[in-house]
Amino acid sequence: MFIDESVVTLKSGNGGDGAATFRREKFVQFGGPDGGDGGKGGDIIILADPNINTLLNFKNIKKLEAKNGSRGSSARCTGRNGDNVVVRVPVGTVIRDYETNKLLLDMNKANEERVLLKGGDGGRGNIHFKNSIRKAPRISESGRPGIELKVKLELKMLADVALVGYPSVGKSSFINKVSAAKSKVASYHFTTLRPKLGMVRVNDIDSFVIADIPGLIEGAHQGIGLGDKFLKHIERCRVIIHIVDISEIDGRSAIEDYYKINEELKNYSEKLSKKPQIVVLNKIDMLYDESKIKEFEKAINQKVLTMSVISNEGIKEVINKANELLKNTEYEDIEELRELDEVLLEVIKTKEDWIIKEIEPNVFEVSGQVVDNVLNKYVFLGEDGIIQFLQVMRNIGMENKLIAAGVKEGDTVVIEGYEFEYV
């Protein structure tokens, strides 16, 4: 089975909280604040790994989480940073936001590493909050939360290798032989109507994806036959196996076939005609005049490989040659997907800023993104902290919101489980 789409939830680590601690020294009753910063949460990093060909690995993975940063501690100790998670994907994988389908990353360069989700920053310890008025601050920041995002991985790279050639030269027969693909084989033209993919295992280490492409004919680049629709798929492959029927059983000239197909590739795009190409003469079981092979090579001024899919000759050589070429061919940048957002994270869901609900008569609950932001930013400790918190909330407009919601003197206000009397 060839999976070219997977869904996985990723989460970067939370930053560790800053510490609100105080120095304790012999003979010093109240030492100064000495709480260290929290560590940074781990990032989710995507790596385009040229040794992976499919998204099969993600089939059983639902969620990947980077580690959280540790909290800061006393004696100005900074918390440990959370470990990153490196997610290895095949080269050519496109990553989209699952909800919006927005393109986040196009991993089209081998060994490229990109940070998809940044870990939350650690909170600052109370050593940073010392000033001349507030000598012993019991405040420290909490770490920023990591980001959780459900993403869709798509392996846009159709295949490493494309099989091209006239109809009925044996492309489908070949892919069926070298992979688990089951492509329809028949003696009439245009048997194959859609590209078909197969995984080719070359040896214990190497494998590649091969695509059976519908047959091309003269004029394919202008839309004659089935051709033009699929030429763009070929554009994303790195190596072309050009199969020619040397038996000429269909009554065409093999040499002419070769030139015509290459003409079509070139007319479609310069890029296509420059792809490394392996020329393979098929159906040698039906070739009674071996000199035709030499003749062909001379005409095109290039060495070719020969095979018979039917009698199992020369197949391994074609696969090895393709594998060798793949190893020497870099992936190209894919222009259509170039308009990428460099930094990727406006996708974080936000709640409404203020949510004020009268949960029972004269009891108002305050929540929303604004509250989250404040609570995420600071740790409020003790009585000091509560007053501080209410002050911050008032400064950013809570009172007006409460009044608009109908709060009266003496009512109860609930925030994050804490109750206050409204005065």
Ligand X SMILES: Nc1nc2c(ncn2[C@@H]2O[C@H](COP(=O)(O)OP(=O)(O)OP(=O)(O)O)[C@@H](O)[C@H]2O)c(=O)[nH]1
Residue 214 CB, shortest distance to Mg ion, in Å, is 7
With CB atoms as reference, the residue minimizing the distance to ligand X is: 215
Q: Is 195 in the site for ligand X (CB under 6 A)?
A: no
Residue 306 CB, shortest distance to ligand X, in Å, is 10
Q: Is 179 in the site for Mg ion (CB under 5 A)?
A: no
| Interface map 95-114 toward ligand X (x if CB under 6 A) | --------------------
Tell which positions 200-229 bind ligand X, by CB under 6 A: 214-215
The vertex-391 CA angle with 389 and 392, nearest 5°, equals 65
Which residues 6+ apart lie within 8 Å of 373 measured at CB?
none
In which region does residue 301 sit, left (phi positive, over 0), alpha (psi from -120 to 50) or beta (all else)? left
Residue 115 CB, shortest distance to Mg ion, in Å, is 43
What does residue 350 show for φ and ψ, rounded to 5 degrees?
Answer: -120, 145
The span of 5-13, 70-78, 149-157, 171-179 binding ligand X (CB under 6 A) equals 171-179
Q: Which residue lies nearer to ligand X by CB, 19 or 234?
A: 234
Residue 183 CB, shortest distance to Mg ion, in Å, is 6
Tell which positions 188-227 bind Mg ion, by CB under 5 A: 191-192
d(CA 299, CA 157): 34
* Chain mean position to CA 152: 7
Own/partner pairs for 191-200, CB < 8 Å, 24+ apart?
A: 191/167, 193/226, 195/158, 195/159, 195/230, 195/233, 196/172, 197/2, 197/4, 197/158, 197/159, 198/2, 199/2, 199/53, 199/54, 200/161, 200/319, 200/322
Q: Is 282 in the site for ligand X (CB under 6 A)?
A: yes
The token duo for 382 is: 């003790």
Q: Is 41 in the site for ligand X (CB under 6 A)?
A: no
d(CA 121, CA 40): 5
Q: Is 282 in the site for Mg ion (CB under 5 A)?
A: no
| Interface map 291-330 toward ligand X (x if CB under 6 A) | -----------------xxx--------------------
Residues that bind Mg ion (CB under 5 A): 171-172, 191-192
Residues that bind ligand X (CB under 6 A): 165, 167-173, 185-187, 189-192, 214-215, 282-283, 285-286, 308-310
